Amino acid sequence: MTSGLVYYLSGLAILLGINLIAIWGLDLQFGLAGINNFAYIVFQAAGGYAAALFALKPAKAYGGFETYLGGFNLPFPLPLIGAAAVGGLLAVPVGLIAIRRLRADYQAMAMLVLSLIATGLAEAQTGLVNGPTGLALIPQPLVGIVHVTPLGYNWIFLGLTAGCCALAWWVAHGISRSPFGRLLRAVRDSESAVAALGRNPDALRMKVLIAGGALAGPSGGLLVEYVTAWGPSSWLYPETFLFFTALIVGGKGNLAGGALGALLVPIGIVEASRHLPAFGYPGMIDSLDWVVIGACLLVFLWFRPNGLLPERKRVFRAGRQQAGGTQVSGAFAQRLTGSR
């Protein structure tokens, strides 16, 4: 393999890892708890901005060619931790809209509009994150401490991404298999049953919204630190549907499905089209990517709405004792509410 190819593949692996974290975060919110978060990209964007602002020096240090709030010049890994915190905190105001009891399609529209408003504000308030131009020159982690070739740095960054992925998997898998995860599935499948068992579905949804946001944040942070620039055009509302398509193609509600989706949609479709022989004007293939993504979404919603790796059906068995109806539901209730 030529070193150019190795460099390209390592970059691809980094992007896969970043998408994986984001898709697992969305899987927690949408796949596990059934929250139709059509503003998910805002969480990633906020994480990206947070990491950038925590890592950048104050604007004056660069001659003031860009304007933004803060610039705290914090060392690695604080910007990423900050990104996670901001992503999680953002879930609280977003949750006020996302957790309202609205018709699912109204909710979808409200979340979509929220995403557009966020883009609009980031562009209109130029002092906040440098307006439509966005932030640039974002410091990469460990640069200045380690001295390596660009390829060597890619390997370091890949290791960092892999570490973050492992952490994200640990969080998402932990939630998914815990009693809390079972409760979330119950909220998704039968909200009134959960409420009848004395649990507050809204509080549960808020918790998972925060957890998902805390994964989206660092994924945005990693992306920003990898590409060293971040602006409103990087997180327009269609990007949310890249993640949704990945989940629906791969299979929602399970981490393997999300991983397969990450490999097929953001990396598969978007990267494969870069290797097509060039045709049209520059940028035409990028537009056609979205047509393919939309078509994929439609085809899967029609033929295989549960994805390539559907969520395993979890059937509760009443142990060995073959208990009667009331006892089963009693035991079921115990399992459901997580009391031991």
Partner 1 sequence: MTLLLSIIIFGVYSAALLAIGAVGFTLQFGVTNVLNLAFGSILTACIFAEYGLTGHSTNLWIAMAVGAASGAVLSLLIGHVVVGAFLRRGATGFGIAMVTIAISLMVQFGLEAIQGPDILSYSAGSQATMNIGGVVLSSGQLTTIIVAVLAMAAVQVLLRMTKFGLAMRATAADVSLARTCAVSPARTRAVTWLISGALCGICGVLLGIGEGSFSASTGSDFFITLAAAAVLGGIGKPAGAMIGALIIGIVSQAAAAVIAPSYKTIAAWVILIAVLVLRPQGILAEFAADRELVA
Q: Residue numbers of the site for partner 1 (CB under 8 A)?
A: 36, 38, 96-97, 100, 102-106, 108-110, 112-114, 116-117, 120-121, 123-124, 238, 241, 244, 248, 280-284, 287-291, 293-295, 297-298, 301-302, 305
Residue number with CB closer to partner 1 (117 or 195)? 117
Q: In the complex with partner 1, which residue's Cβ is closer, 277 or 280?
A: 280
In angstroms, give the least distance from the CB of 281 to partner 1: 5
Taking the complex as a whole, the smallest distance from the CB of residue 29 to partner 1 amounts, in Å, to: 13
Measured from the CB atom, the residue of 228 and 234 that comes closer to partner 1 is 234
CB of 283 to partner 1, least distance (A): 6
CB of 247 to partner 1, least distance (A): 11
Q: Are 35 and 184 in contact (CB under 8 A)?
A: no
d(CA 286, CA 305): 26
Chain-centroid distance of CA 46 in Å reads 11
Minimum CB–partner distance for residue 54 and partner 1 (Å): 27
Closer CB to partner 1, 302 or 322, in the complex? 302
Nearer to partner 1, 17 or 257 (CB): 257
Least distance from C-beta 37 to partner 1, angstroms?
A: 11
Judged by beta carbon, residue 238 or residue 319, the one nearer partner 1 is 238
**Residue closer to partner 1 (CB basis): 238 or 324:** 238
Cβ atoms of 158 and 165 closer than 8 Å: no
User: Token pair of 133, please?
Assistant: 């131009």
- Min CB(192)–partner 1 separation in Å: 15
CB of 112 to partner 1, least distance (A): 7
Cβ proximity to partner 1, 25 vs 34, nearer residue: 34
174-178 long-range contacts, CB within 8 A, separation 24+: 175/28, 175/32, 175/208, 175/211, 176/28, 176/32, 176/254, 176/255, 178/338
CA distance 168 to 174: 10
Closest CA relative to residue 257, chosen from 267, 266, 246, 268: 246
Strand partners for 68: 129
Min. distance of Cβ 285 from partner 1 in angstroms?
8
Q: Which residue number, 125 or 334, has a Cβ lying nearer to partner 1?
A: 125
